[in-house]
Each structure stands twice: as structure tokens, then as C-alpha cells.
């Protein structure tokens, strides 16, 4: 089994050989490492994409709008990703962003995952019956990713910035907090002498 370091380095070199600048190739290396770490078929998708662009170049996205459609060809997922990552704090205000005709969309995903960490919000991604939830570049949840089935083109990708909300009610929180208060020790003259109760820090 290849190490994540090998995956990163080999993906970077292969991307450079395929025509990407070193800076972009380094980003691709990191992304393949992350996809494979999350159990997603990054290497398989990258191999197929690099073979494709030798024969059929894809279109670079320069500026991201609320809706993004290529003029002639399919969008390059790598350049969509770098543009998104570079401008994610501004794009957050758009809430919902759509891309049309993106080649090998899984390669777009790790850029969005990293953007989730930068803006401090979870991001929902949907395309071709696949739903992903990106959690601050720590985890990627998916409803039905199939390692044997590669999506070579997404007709539409919907990306939504999600507001941070608790998964529990205020009532549930108060109940738990009330229970936690039972650990508090009220200081008495006797307990002070024995050293009971919290000091100035939690470690005291």
C-alpha cells in the first residue's frame, strides 16, 4: 500500500508532467492525499482526467459568479478549485453557487473541503445524485459514493455554505448543563484547608 506521502509526491509530479505549473501541481498533490485519506478515489479520477486533457483540453474558470457556465468546453475542476479557494471568503456571501459542465468533479471536492475550514462553515456539495457534506477539512461525508463508478462530467454542481447550528435543543443543553453543575464544590473553611474545590485554573 502506498503511503500518503507517496501519493502526494507522485500526483504532484504527474500533474506537472501533464502541463500544470508547479504551484498548481503542489495543490493537486495535497488534494489527492486528502481524497485518498477520506477513502475517495482521487488517484483513479486524476489518472483519467490527466489522460483526457492530453487529447481534449478543458476550460479555465477566471471569475466565479453565482452561476457559472463554460463558453465552449467543460470546466477544469482544478482551476475551478483554485479560483474557489482563493476567493472563498467573498464567495461565502453568495450562499449558493452553481457550476455547469465540470469535468471529473471529484477533483474539485478537496478545494471545497479546504475552503470549509477557511470560512469556518460546513459546505454541502451535490452533483449527479451524489451528496457530500464537507466538515472544516476534517471529514467528508457522502451518501452514495461508489469507488467503481467515476463521474467524468457533472452537468450541474450545487455548492451551499451552511450556517453553523447546534444539533441539540436549548432544553437539552440546559438539562446537561444542570447535571454538570453537580460537580461544583462549594468552598467551606474546612474544604479550603483540605484543598477542595477548583483553583484559579482547571488544572488546580
Residue 190: what pLDDT?
Answer: 60
Residue 180: what pLDDT?
Answer: 93
Cell of 97: 453557487
pLDDT in tens, 34-56: 999 998 999 999 999 999 999 99
pTM score, two decimals? 0.84
Question: Would you tell me how many other CB atoms lie within 10 Å of the CB of residue 21?
Answer: 10
Residue from 25, 26, 41, 30 nearest 4 by CA: 30
The three-state secondary structure class of 58 is: coil
Q: Where are the domains of the chain?
A: 4-161
Residue 2: what pLDDT?
Answer: 92
Residue 183: what pLDDT?
Answer: 86
Give the residues of the chain that fall short of pLDDT 50.
200
Only one residue has cell 467524468, namely: 152
Residue 202: what pLDDT?
Answer: 55
C-alpha–C-alpha distance, residues 176 and 172, integer Å? 6
Residue 115: what pLDDT?
Answer: 96
Q: Is 190 exposed, middle or buried (0-12, 13-18, 19+ CB in 10 A)?
A: exposed
Question: Would you tell me how many other CB atoms lie within 10 Å of the CB of residue 155?
Answer: 12
Question: Would you tell me how many other CB atoms lie within 10 Å of the CB of residue 191?
Answer: 12
Cross-strand partners of 132: 125, 142
Amino acid at each position: 500500500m502506498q503511503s500518503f506521502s507517496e501519493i502526494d509526491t507522485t500526483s504532484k509530479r504527474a500533474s506537472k508532467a501533464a502541463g500544470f505549473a508547479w504551484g498548481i501541481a503542489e495543490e493537486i498533490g495535497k488534494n489527492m492525499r486528502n481524497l485518498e485519506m477520506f477513502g475517495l478515489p482521487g488517484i483513479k479520477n486524476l489518472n483519467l482526467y490527466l489522460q483526457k486533457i492530453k487529447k481534449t483540453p478543458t476550460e479555465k474558470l477566471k471569475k466565479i459568479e453565482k452561476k457559472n457556465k463554460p463558453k465552449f468546453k467543460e470546466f477544469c475542476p482544478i482551476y475551478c478549485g483554485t479560483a474557489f479557494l482563493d476567493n472563498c471568503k467573498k464567495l461565502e456571501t453568495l450562499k449558493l453557487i452553481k457550476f455547469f459542465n465540470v469535468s471529473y468533479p471529484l477533483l474539485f471536492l478537496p478545494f471545497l473541503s479546504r475552503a470549509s475550514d477557511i470560512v469556518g462553515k460546513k459546505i454541502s456539495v451535490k452533483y449527479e445524485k451524489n451528496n457530500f457534506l464537507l466538515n472544516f477539512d476534517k471529514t467528508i461525508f457522502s451518501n452514495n459514493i461508489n469507488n467503481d463508478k467515476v463521474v467524468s462530467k457533472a452537468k450541474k454542481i450545487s455548492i451551499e455554505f451552511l450556517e453553523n447550528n447546534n444539533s441539540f435543543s436549548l432544553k437539552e443543553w440546559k438539562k446537561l448543563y444542570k447535571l454538570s453543575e453537580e460537580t461544583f464544590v462549594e468552598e467551606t473553611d474546612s474544604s479550603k484547608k483540605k484543598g477542595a474545590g477548583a483553583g484559579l485554573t482547571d488544572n488546580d
